[in-house]
Chains A and B, each alone.
Chain A
Amino acid sequence: MSSEWPLWEIFIRGQHGLNHRHVGSLHAPDAEMAIRNARDVYTRRNEGVSIWVVKANDITASSPSEKGPLFDPSNSKVYRHPTFFDIPDEVGHM
Chain B
Amino acid sequence: MPSLPDMTTPNLTALAGQALTESGHVAVPAPDAGQPEFVEFLQRMGDNALILGHRVSEWCGHSPALEEDIALANQALDLIGQCQLWLGLAAEVEGKGRDADALAYLRDAGAFRNLLLVELPNGDFGVTLMRQFLFDAFHIEMLRALKTSSDSRVADIAAKAEKEVAYHLERSADLVIRLGDGTDESRARMQAALTKLWSYTGEMFVDDAVDQAMADAGIAPLPSSLQPAWDKTVAAVLEEATLTAPTGAWQHKGGKKGIHTEHLGYILAEMQFLQRAYPGARW
Q: Do chains A and B touch in the complex (CB under 8 A)?
A: yes
Chain A residues engaging chain B, CB cutoff 8 angstroms: 5, 26-29, 32-33, 36-37, 40-42, 44-46
Query: CB-defined interface of B156-184 with A at 8 Å, one 1/0 digit per residue?
Result: 00000000000100110010001000000
Q: What is the CA–CA distance of A41 and B5 in the complex, to the nearest angstrom?
A: 13
B167 touches A27 (CB 8 A): no
In the complex, residue of chain B having the shortest beta-carbon distance to the beta carbon of A2? B183
Q: What is the distance, in angstroms, from A35's C-beta to the closest C-beta of chain B?
A: 11
Are B171 and A36 within 8 A (Cβ)?
Answer: yes
Expressed in whole angstroms, the minimum distance between the Cβ of A2 and any Cβ of chain B is 10
CB contacts under 8 Å to A, within B68-83, are 70-71, 74
CB distance from B85 to the nearest CB of A (A): 17
What mask results when residues 1 to 20 of chain B are scored 1 for a CB within 8 Å of chain A, else 0?
11111000000000000000
In which size bucket is the chain B interface? 10 to 19
The CA of A42 and the CA of B70, in the complex, are separated in Å by 10
Flag B234-260 by CB within 8 Å of A: 1 or 0 each.
000000000000000000000000000
Q: Point out the residues of chain A lying under 8 angstroms from B167, CB to CB.
A: 45
Do B1 and A41 have beta carbons less than 8 Å apart? yes
18 contacts between A and B (CB under 8 A): A5-B65, A26-B67, A27-B65, A27-B66, A29-B178, A33-B178, A36-B174, A37-B67, A37-B70, A37-B71, A40-B74, A41-B70, A42-B1, A42-B2, A44-B2, A44-B4, A45-B5, A46-B5
Query: Which chain A residue has the least Cβ–Cβ distance from B67?
Result: A37
Q: Is the CB of B67 within 8 A of A40?
A: yes
When chains A and B are docked, how far (Å) is the Cα of A46 from the Cα of B170?
16
Least Cβ–Cβ distance between A55 and chain B, in angstroms: 15
Is B70 within 8 A of A40, CB to CB? Answer: yes
A40/B65 in contact, CB under 8 A = no
Identify the B interface with A (CB < 8 A): 1-5, 65-67, 70-71, 74, 167, 170-171, 174, 178
Contact partner of B2 (CB less than 8 A), chosen from A33, A40, A46, is A40
- When the two chains form their complex, are residues A41 and B2 in contact, meaning their CB atoms are under 8 A apart? yes
B residues in contact with A27, CB < 8 Å: 65-67
- Give the Cβ gap from B60 to chain A, nearest Cβ, in Å: 13
Q: Which residue of chain A is the closest to B3 with respect to CB atoms?
A: A44
Q: Considering the complex, give the chain B residue whose CB is closest to the CB of A40.
A: B71
B66 surroundings in chain A (CB, below 8 A): 27
Q: Which residues of B contact A33 (CB under 8 A)?
A: 174, 178
What residues on B are CB-neighbors of A5 within 8 Å?
Answer: 65
How far does the alpha carbon of A37 sit from the alpha carbon of B66 in the complex, in Å? 10
A36 CB → nearest B CB, Å: 6
Residues on the A chain within 8 Å of B1, using CB = 41-42
CB distance from A8 to the nearest CB of B (A): 10
Kindly list the 8 A-B residue pairs having the minimum CB-CB distance in the complex, ordered from nearest: A40-B71, A37-B67, A44-B5, A40-B70, A41-B70, A40-B74, A41-B2, A26-B67
The complex places the Cα of A37 from the Cα of B5 at a distance, in Å, of: 17
CA of A71 to CA of B5 in the docked complex: distance in angstroms?
39
The answer to whether B5 touches A28, judged by C-beta atoms less than 8 angstroms apart, is no
Cα distance, A26 to B65, chains bound together (Å): 11
The docked-state distance in angstroms from the alpha carbon of A26 to that of B3 is 17
- Which residues of B lie under 8 Å from residue A32 when comparing CB positions? 174
Other contacts beyond A37-B71, A45-B167: 19, CB < 8 A: A26-B67, A27-B65, A29-B178, A32-B174, A36-B71, A36-B171, A36-B174, A37-B70, A40-B71, A40-B74, A41-B70, A41-B71, A42-B1, A44-B2, A44-B3, A44-B4, A44-B5, A45-B5, A45-B74
